[in-house]
């Protein structure tokens, strides 16, 4: 039996972490895709250049306080999927498809069981989105994070032909706004949702969340949906005017990011009914309607804008991919704002 090192006594067990990293290598190998040059474990991940005429698109994001729910529930296999899918959607709105993903996992004290569950989620989502898990950083920092908790951040890099980059610059009055359904809260609004559900409504993780017929844990840990498959099918046949991923900032802050200066996005709130989760949060939390649509996605995870002539074909393609898309608004002359109307 060897003596504990001084570093281990200070709260960091290098051997424990390295053993866990070796254990997940088999999972990570299953995410290898064409273009990957090295396996995980090098000082830097390597990937072949996508080629002439291509543009790289990158994005970094985190899971936020959804991690608090994962820790409370002791369920850590979904948050890895969340961060990959979130990042995939962020570059997808520009027409880019993912090449590779890298993660940052940080905690006060390394727990191999939690780490392996998180990586399993990362690997599953990378396989589903056909991108490589190229590497990342696993940090153990006693005193910086609360005991038993961790942070999870991801960076994705994708590619798109320069002539096919989607920016929104061609959006015009008369264009139609289509909404793709979310799977729940996705990865935003959890600080407010937790306050309402656990502090104000006094619900427990195993309680049924009113109106949903599901346990609170399952509703809150529903995996952030990836829109890669339906949007990829759409991009092959339709010229998309613009897309917006409805994340932090909701409709009011995300949609204007893709609008030209002379138009508004006008959303018809009567066009869809937000799922029961959102109605519960609004009613039990006493949250104003305007704020609900700024904090939460309200059941719409991705917005697609197309020309009127492309609308019918767009809906047919999306239906064939199994997506129940909805016409939820229109583009009008304006000043680059979002309007919510009944």
Mean pLDDT of 98-113: 95
For domain 176-341, give the fold: Phosphoribosyl-aminoimidazole Synthetase; Chain A, domain 2 (3.90.650)
Reduced to 3 states, what is the DSSP secondary structure of residue 328?
strand
Handedness of CA 271, 317, 226, 136 (dihedral sign): negative
Neighbour tally for 225: CB within 10 Å:
23
Instruction: Please enumerate in sequence order all residues whose Cβ is within 8 A of that of 293, keeping only pairs 6 or more positions apart, or say none.
Output: 250, 251, 252, 340
Distance from C-alpha of 104 to C-alpha of 92, rounded to nearest angstrom:
21
Split at pLDDT 50, 70, 90, the class of 11 is low
Distance from C-alpha of 249 to C-alpha of 299, rounded to nearest angstrom:
14
State what percent of residues in the chain have pLDDT above 70: 94
Residue 341 confidence (pLDDT) above 90: yes
Q: How many residues can be counted in the chain?
A: 342
**pLDDT computed for residue 183 by the predictor:** 98
Site of tokens 């309007």:
339
Domain ranges for the chain, please list them: 6-164, 176-341
Split at pLDDT 50, 70, 90, the class of 309 is very high
Tokens standing for residue 28:
């990570």
Residue 165 confidence (pLDDT) above 90: yes
pTM here is 0.91
**Helix or strand run (H / E) with residue 71:** helix 66-73
**pLDDT computed for residue 36 by the predictor:** 81
User: What are the angstrom distances between the C-alpha of 33 and each of 99, 130, 224?
Assistant: 8, 7, 23
Split at pLDDT 50, 70, 90, the class of 30 is confident
pLDDT digit string, tens, across residues 199-257: 999 999 999 999 999 999 999 999 999 999 999 999 999 999 999 999 999 999 999 99
Architecture of domain 6-164: 2-Layer Sandwich (3.30)
Contact 118, 76 (CB under 8 A): yes
**pLDDT computed for residue 64 by the predictor:** 94
DSSP-assigned states of every residue in 209-272: ETTTTEEHHHHHTPPPPP-HHHHHHHHHH----EEEE--TTHHHHHGGGG--TTEEEEEEGGG-
Average pLDDT of the residues of the chain: 93
Angle, helices 311-320/228-237, rounded to nearest 10 degrees:
140
pLDDT digit string, tens, across residues 265-291: 999 999 999 999 999 999 999 999 999
């Amino acid at each position: 039996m060897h003596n504990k090192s001084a570093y281990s006594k200070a709260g960091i067990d290098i051997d424990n972490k390295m053993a866990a990293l070796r254990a997940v290598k088999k999972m990570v190998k299953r995410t290898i895709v064409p273009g990957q040059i090295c396996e995980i474990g090098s000082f830097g991940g390597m990937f072949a250049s996508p080629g002439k005429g291509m543009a790289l698109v990158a994005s970094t994001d985190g899971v936020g306080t959804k991690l608090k729910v994962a820790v409370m529930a002791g369920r850590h296999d979904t948050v890895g999927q969340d961060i990959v899918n979130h990042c995939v959607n962020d570059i997808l709105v520009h027409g880019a498809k993912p090449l590779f993903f890298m993660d940052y996992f940080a905690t006060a004290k390394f727990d191999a069981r939690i780490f392996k569950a998180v990586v399993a989620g990362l690997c599953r989502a990378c396989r589903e989105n056909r991108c490589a898990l190229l590497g990342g950083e696993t940090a153990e920092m006693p005193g910086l994070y609360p005991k038993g908790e961790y942070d999870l951040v991801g960076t994705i890099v994708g590619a798109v032909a320069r002539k096919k980059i989607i920016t929104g610059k061609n959006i015009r009055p008369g264009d139609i706004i289509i909404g793709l359904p979310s799977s729940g809260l996705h990865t935003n609004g959890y600080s407010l949702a937790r306050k309402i559900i656990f502090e104000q409504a006094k619900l427990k993780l195993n309680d049924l969340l009113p109106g949903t017929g599901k346990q609170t844990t399952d509703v809150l840990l529903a995996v952030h949906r990836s829109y890669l498959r339906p949007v990829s099918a759409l991009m092959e046949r339709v010229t998309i005017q613009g897309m917006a991923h409805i994340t932090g900032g909701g409709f009011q802050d995300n949609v204007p990011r893709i609008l030209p200066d002379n138009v508004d996005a006008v959303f018809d709130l009567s066009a869809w009914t937000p799922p029961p989760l959102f109605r519960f949060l609004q009613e039990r939390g006493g949250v104003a309607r305007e704020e609900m649509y700024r904090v939460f996605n309200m059941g719409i995870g991705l917005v697609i804008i197309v020309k009127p002539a492309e609308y019918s074909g767009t809906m047919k393609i999306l239906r064939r991919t199994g997506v129940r898309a909805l016409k939820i608004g229109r583009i009008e002359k304006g000043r680059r704002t979002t309007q919510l109307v009944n």
